[in-house]
Structure 1
Amino acid sequence: MQDNFIQAFKDEARELLADLEDALLEMEENPADLGIVGRVFRAMHTIKGSGAMFGFDDIAGFTHNVETVYDLVRNGELGVSKELVTLSLEARDRILAMLEAAECGAAVDQALNDRVIEAFRALVPGGCAAGAPANAHPAAAAPEPEEQEAVTYRIRFRPAPGIFCSGVNPLSLIAELQELGPCTVVAHAAAIAPLGSLEPEQCHLYWDIILTTTAGEDAINDVFIFVVDDCQLSIAVIDDGSRQDEYKKLGQILIERGDMTAQQMEELLGRQKRIGELAVEAGLVDPETVTSALLEQRHVKEVRQERQSQGAEGASSIRVAAEKLDVLVNLVGELVTVQARLSMVAQELKKHAELVSVAEEVERLTNDLRDNALDIRMLPIGATFSKFKRLVRDLSAELGKEIELTTEGAETELDKTVIEKLNDPLVHVIRNSIDHGIEIPEAREAKGKARAGTIRLSAVHSGDSVLITIKDDGAGLNADAIRAKAVERKIISPSAELSEKEIWNLIFAPGFSTAAKVTSVSGRGVGMDVVKQAIEGLRGTIDVKSSQGEGTSIMLKIPLTLAIIESLLVQIGKDRFVLPLSMVDECILHSREEIEKSHGREYLMVREKLVPYVPLRRMFRIPGAPPEIQQVVICQLEGKRFGLLVDWVIGEHQTVIKSLGRMYQQVAGMSGATILGDGSVTLILDVPTIMQLAEQAQ
């Protein structure tokens, strides 16, 4: 059981570190936002407390030193600077390194940890006066108390009339209370004298504050620690979260506060008006006092309702290991295959109406189960996008550039497996945009551009795919330089006539690079070819657009999931194949007579446009004569239309993707296999590879 708790801490720590990185980058952009500073502090505090609780004393001690600095920032004693953010990001990386070292049993670079801690201590006014060792942490690594349940307090704050003379602003104290949690504040103005006799240097107000917080009563007392002798202060717990019944009546609140006596309340209850109106008319309390009591009643009611809704939400949300989801989707895939077989048997035995009915019901339930199982594995791509903010910040600083990363469509969802495989390709593309695309600030100014370049990362759904666009406002691609480098590398011949799109696609050739010198970022010819391979491995496509001097846009089209896809089932001779339906535009009949008239030229006229096609029977060397009328499946890829000539198009099919064995993984033109309803194995066509093979053959 202890191992489960430790693993839960590791998972939570990774989530907190990811959120911490986002918060630090936001804090750099908005240094005056104390809400973001508080978010950083809370993340550090939680990591420290949980780390000490589960035996990660090195993480707890290290984080304590960082937390100390952010406590000063939170209290306004230290300002947010670029140096602090850079150091904090480095500290975040060291905490992650310690976490990973604990998992694999590796040694931690203690010298690097000490250097970071000393750098933080140097930021503290007066340095480390205590002279504590680098790994020291508070109270001999005593674990921090667990976060408390939210408790609602009633606070009456009545400052002394001369509190202004001591330089205290009561509103600042109330603002500090509001940072602790949901807060309702009522000012009592009954003691304000008429304008002619008003003493402007004295405080005539007092306040009732209803506060719901997890910080505890000590945190409330800390707010008033410097004015406790200059005010009347009362703090009382009015709701500790243990009861969910209706909160106290208005009369009970007024008696409990001491604003009315029980005897006065009994006298008023005999009348017919509302208790608040009666109390005001009787001159026992002023209207602000009644308003304050009513707001207390409403505040506690709203807090209890929110607590109930959060409790219901928490009960319906659980953490599940990714491996269990993978097993679930695999089982659903097997169920889809068996359901297809059941439907086929039912169609063959149509005279058994009851069997057909059962098969249709199973098909409906299987489809619902398939959709829900796939939805469970869908994650928003925003978590992946947020990782690149750090990449852009660090790399632009290394190259002496000013670059801003903007994101759109962070809520767009993709299968978790697809998201995991997208990370490396996106890193390569963004690094290329930073290194080759965005110019240095001086060069941008000389061209009339803003000093800071922009990289825009966006995602949007498009049918059963997601379009991810990486667009920069840099120098754009140089067609002449790309062509010259391709000729030098003997990728193309000097006399080759290429369209603009074909020139842009040369950047995906293995070993291609236009960098003048090799650096830590680029120039080794490794990058964009890896991107193309990875995207094609996801059954996706890449489209490049560029304008000299204005920037480059790279669009990736990625399928939503890799587990179960909609496909088109075709047949050649006795063999059947499937291809992804997302790439299919239409199907066209093609007779033997039309083939003979073309005199060996494999083109088809479709709405007054020539479309090349690939005879799959010949490519796959399938024996036998084709039928009199064949069909051409028109596909679209990277803006090009081309056809696949088959004997028959059978129809749409739900395809559960199965990987090929090691002996068949290198077979060109095949990306996997599936099992049909009759139990036979059918290959899945790799459409992009088939197009490339056909172009090379030409």
Structure 2
Amino acid sequence: MTGTNGRGDADELFLMEAQQLAESLEAGLLDMQSRPDDKALIDRVFRDLHTLKGSGAMFGHVELSQFLHHFETAFEAVREGAFPVTPALIALCLRARDHVVALLDGGGPEAGAPLLAELGAMVSSVGDGAADASDGWRLSFHLAPDCLILGARPQGLLDELRTLGATDVEVLTDRLPDLAAIEPDRLWLGWRMRLPGNLTEDQIREVFIFNDGGLDLDLQRDGVPEAGAPDDPATVTGPSAAPSRDRAMMRVPAERLDEMMDRVGELVIAEARLAELALRSGDPQLVGVAEEIQRLATGMRETTMSIRMTPIETITGRFRRLVHDLNDSLGKQIVLEIEGEDTELDKTVIELLADPLLHLIRNSADHGLEAAEDRRALGKPDAGTIRLSARYSGAEVVISLSDDGRGLDLGRIRARAEERGLVAPDAELEESELRAMILHPGFSTAETVTELSGRGVGMDVVKRTVEQLRGSIEVDSEPGHGTQIDMRLPLTLAIIDGLLVEIGGERYTIPLAAVEHISELPEAHADGSRGSRFLNIRDQLVPFLRMRDLLGCEGQAGPWQKVVVVTAGELRVGLTVDRIIGSSQTVIKQLTPLHAALKTFSGATVLGDGSVALILDVPQLVAFGQTRDSTEAA
């Protein structure tokens, strides 16, 4: 049973690595469009092909390994400069890469033969000028004796070597001990064979890339004496020539990271309760132990959260592929520009963002960007540009998607909204409200339905996903100059540093990263029945919200109210609170569906004494303050 489980884990690890190699292969092929003469890039693509082929053979994926062998053989002509990098070649290689992914997902190999035939016909120079097969290689090797215990499969290596053209394969028994000394879990056999001369040394050695530890390998050209001098460049023997591998990386299933984050969250709550009990006890030793546990819990929280943080670039590859395909399907020239790919977000946020961003890009390409002839008539470049950017903004990450297309037709949006009964014919709406109409379920102004968009399905899903992530979405557009959609998202969904405050006898948490500063509420504003709703903060007028009124608190506030100035992007608002309690680590618990509609709160947290404090939603409060400011100004 243990062996079966180990084999299953190994296959799972192979599939994980193979998917990453397939993504790297796709990214490299797309990069070749703009850098067709980049030799290092072409070598990287070839290396991905070869590594994927080798690991596929090692884990028994014969169809995958054979397809990649022929794919690699055809691509060798590109690597050697015998065939130029062209858009047609890249498109065909991308189709071949898609077939690789289909094989990894359990698809049949029958679709591979036409692709290989098409690729071979295109790269007609493959095989020309190759070395005479008679001038081949002699290979003999012994793997490390304990390789079977470590999960190696010699049969997979032999299968891969056969796909390279190995012949005259012989088993070497010269290291086989006496029967009494044989240990069944150790490998005593070796192999000897001949290989075609058109293979390079690197191609042969890369077969053993996952078995280089303890490898004893002898590789020589035919015609070179067996005992060739060590300084003879045609003689490459011994394990020292095998490529080194970085063993510092370790792959962990995402489910284990989620479980670890949950445990750390519970630890933070338990640590807060311990600190509360220690403070009440007055025992200095217990207080000291509680402080030490707090320090350790904080370090563990920061380490765990850093492990969960993932750069945006992990999902941008699929966007580049989408735009490449849209160029052909739409007959448009589209350029995708990406900025801030190293910006990091919680892995859960990244995973949930992928599909909404794909929809936004499709929508921009299909309905936002004009055809080349229309753009030319408007004085625009033939190629339309879609720009995806990510940047930090306080406790949030702002992800923007913009295009330089036709922009939103507010008149058509208004007419469609009235037609659907979303707006009364005589209603007065701000432009921002009209633009936000496109986020309503089923709303579309497209005159025709295409395979990509036009049914009004998708934009509401984008909005719902962003709100599910405790974020906000804004739409801006200028007719004739394009549309921009900004999504503001929290850095993490798990644990934050919070500022604990008291309002009307209840405790609330404000995300500390959004807090700009804290000050006393001026006496002139202490009476809520009169006075301006603005404070002079560093020579700027900042609107402030009386949180007691907003939360419906009864009774009179104390004499020493505080103002907590919070920010969301470029906007600021002051929140009046009765008392500042202090800062603490805050484990975010999601609200129930019954309370999810309360936009003022983004979640709840358990305090050290076991009570619950609601977490104030800073972007919503800032937006509320801005709206009220605009209403009063009108």
Q: Could you say which TM-score interval applies, normalised by the shorter chain?
A: 0.7 to 0.9
Q: Show the counterpart of 2:435.
A: 504
Rounded to whole Å, the distance in 2 between the matches of 1:609 and 1:327 is 46
- Determine the structure 2 residue equivalent to 1:235: 233
8 Å contact from structure 1 (residues 541, 637) kept in 2:
no
2:450 to 519, 531, 543: 519
How big is the shift at 1:541? 2.7
Aligned residue in 1 for 2:30: 25
Of 524, 535, 544 in structure 2, the residue corresponding to residue 606 of structure 1 is 535
Residues 126-165 of structure 1 mapped to structure 2, 5 A cutoff: 143-145=159-161
Of residues 526-535 and 667-676 in structure 1, the stretch that sits farther from structure 2 once superposed is 667-676
TM-score, with length taken from structure 2:
0.73
Equivalent of 1:63, from 55, 64, 68? 68
Q: Secondary structure in 1 aligned to 2:445?
A: coil
SS in 1 for 2:295: helix
Whether the 8 Å contact between 1:536 and 1:688 is mirrored in structure 2 is no
Partner of 2:191: none
- Gap change, CA 1:637 and 1:481, over 3 Å in 2: farther
Counterpart residue identity of residue 304, structure 2: A
Is 1:597 the equivalent of 2:526? no
Q: Deviations over 1:456-504 (max 9, x none)?
A: 2222333333232323222233343334433433333444444444443
Residue 116 in 1 paired to residue 111 in 2?
no
Shift of 1:564: 0.6
Normalising by structure 1, what TM-score? 0.67
- Cα shift readout 1:415-445 (whole Å, capped 9, x = no counterpart): 2222112212221222222123222111111
Change (3 A) 1:610 1:379: closer
Q: Which residue of 1 aligns with 2:92?
A: 87
Q: 1:43-79 CA distances to partner (integer Å, 9 max, x unpaired)?
A: 2222223223222222223323322321233334433
One-letter amino acid matched to 2:267: L
Distance 1:583 1:544 in 2: 23
SS at match of 2:398: strand
2:76 corresponds to 1:100: no
Larger radius of gyration: 1
Q: Residues 384 and 467 of structure 1: is their aligned pair in 2 closer, same or farther, counting only changes over 3 Å?
A: same
1:692 Cα offset (Å)? 8.5
User: How has the CA–CA distance of structure 1 residues 614 and 488 changed in structure 2, closer, same or farther, with 3 Å as cutoff?
Assistant: farther
* Aligned alpha-carbon RMSD (Å): 4.1
Q: Deviations over 1:300-334 (max 9, x none)?
A: xxx99xx9xx77xx343322222222222222222
> In structure 2, the residue corresponding to 1:96 is in which secondary structure?
helix
Shift of 1:397: 2.0
Higher relative contact order (CA 8 A, sep 6+): 2
> Between the two proteins, what is the percent identity of the paired residues?
42
Match for 1:35 among 35, 40, 47?
40
Question: Which residue is equivalent to 1:345?
Answer: 277
Q: How far apart, CA to CA, are the structure 2 residues paired with 1:140 and 1:679?
A: 57
Alignment of 1:272-351 (within 5 A): 314-350=246-282
Aligned to 1:256: none
Cα contact 1:25–1:85 (8 A) shared by 2: yes
How far the C-alpha of 1:392 sits from its partner, in A, is 1.0
Relative distance call for 1:545 and 1:681 in structure 2 (3 A) is: same
Question: In the alignment, is residue 424 of structure 1 matched against residue 423 of structure 2?
Answer: no
- In the alignment, which of 536, 547, 569 is matched to residue 500 of structure 2? 569
* Residue of structure 2 equivalent to 1:540: 471
C-alpha distance after superposition, 1:203-253 (max 9, x if no partner): xxxxxxxxxxx9x997x969x99xxxxxxx9426588564xxxxxxxxxxx
Structure 1 contact 466–559 (Cα < 8 Å) conserved? yes
How many residue pairs align between the two structures? 538
Say if 1:234 and 1:647 are closer, same or farther in 2 by CA, change over 3 A. closer
CA distance in 2, matches of 1:505, 1:322: 35
> Is 449-458 or 565-574 further displaced after alignment?
565-574
Pairing 1:161-310 to 2, within 5 Å after superposition: 234-235=232-233, 240=238, 242=240
Aligned equivalents of 1:372, 1:493: Cα separation in 2: 53
2:56 is aligned with 1:125: no
**Structure 1 residue matching 2:37: 3-state secondary structure:** coil
- The letter of the residue matching 1:427 is L
Given the superposition, is the C-alpha separation of residues 29 and 179 from structure 1 closer, same or farther in structure 2, using an over 3 Å criterion? farther
2:19 to 3, 14, 37: 14
Q: Secondary structure at the match of 1:595?
A: coil
Contact conserved, 1:583 with 1:636, CA < 8 A, in 2?
Answer: yes
1:614 and 1:96, CA in 2 relative to 1: closer, same or farther beyond 3 A?
Answer: farther
User: Which amino acid is the alignment partner of residue 356 of structure 1?
Assistant: V
- Report how far residue 662 of structure 1 moved: 6.1
Q: Deviations over 1:243-269 (max 9, x none)?
A: xxxxxxxxxxxxxxxxxxxxxxxxxxx
What residue in structure 2 maps to residue 415 of structure 1? 346
Q: Matched residues in 1 for 2:57 and 2:314: separation? A: 28
Unaligned 5+ runs, structure 2: 1-5, 128-154, 163-198, 205-214, 225-230
Residue 236 to residue 122, structure 1, CA distance change in 2 (3 Å): closer
Q: Determine if the alignment matches structure 1 residue 482 to structure 2 residue 481.
A: no
Partners of 1:24 and 1:88 within 8 A in 2: yes
Q: Which moved more, 1:455-464 or 1:661-670?
A: 661-670
- CA deviation map 1:174-194 (0-9, x unaligned): xx999999xxxxxxxxxxxxx
Distance in 1, matches of 2:563 and 2:432, equals 26
Consecutive unaligned residues in structure 1, runs of 5 or more: 102-107, 129-138, 147-175, 182-213, 226-232, 243-302
Correspondence 1:74 to 2:72: no
For 1:490-522, what per-residue CA distance to the aligned partner results, in whole angstroms no more than 9, with x for missing partners?
333444444444443333233332222221222
Bigger CA drift: 62-71 or 382-391? 62-71
CA–CA separation in structure 2 for the residues paired with 1:10 and 1:409: 29
| Distance in 2, Cα, partners of 1:221 & 1:452 | 52
CA distance in 1 between counterparts of 2:597 and 2:122 reads: 57
d(CA) in 1 for partners of 2:475 and 2:36?
37
Contact 1:412 1:460 in 2 (8 A): yes
Is the aligned partner of 1:53 residue 2:58? yes
